[in-house]
Amino acid sequence: MSAMARWRALGPVRRALLLRALAALCAASAEVRLRPFARIAARLGTMEPPPRPDPAGDAARARQIRWAVDAAARRLPFECACLARALAARALCRAHGLAPVLHMGAERGQQGRPETHAWLTAAGVGVTGYPLPPGMVEIGCFGS
């Protein structure tokens, strides 16, 4: 099936979500490349997730956002870092009324240097950054 045929087969709702994911990924990737992490973290909010039960429909929306971010990232001409994917997915989740939690973690990398990773959850769904690298330890999280 050609790319145009796949595009048409998506339907208007999924096409719109995919376009929003592409825009969010481009914006988040630029932010990660151009801003120091301290400035990014300052706008993320508090370091603890807000307690909020999630309605059953939220999980389906979170899975749709996971699909859109993954599909958009595969089509971009540059690599999207885990933090950029998490920031883009966070923006989409918030726009759809979800309460995402952005997790930050670290593990001991090669030659003892720490490796960092970011992942996002919403409505009990792992939206970005999964599966977690082995040995990854969460060091903080930001609620919406």
User: Which residue, 30, 144, 23, is CA-closest to 121?
Assistant: 144
**Per-residue pLDDT tens over the stretch 72-107:** 999 999 999 999 999 999 999 999 999 999 999 999
Rounded mean pLDDT of the chain?
88
Tokens matching residue 126: 């792992």
Q: How far apart are CA 28 and CA 43, in angstroms?
A: 13
Distant-in-sequence, close-in-space partners of 80: CB < 8 Å, separation ≥ 6: 25, 28, 29, 73, 88
With the C-alpha atoms ordered 102, 54, 45, 22, is the resulting torsion angle positive or negative? positive
Tokens matching residue 119: 């992942």
Q: What is this structure's pTM?
A: 0.84
Question: Residue 10 above 80 pLDDT?
Answer: yes
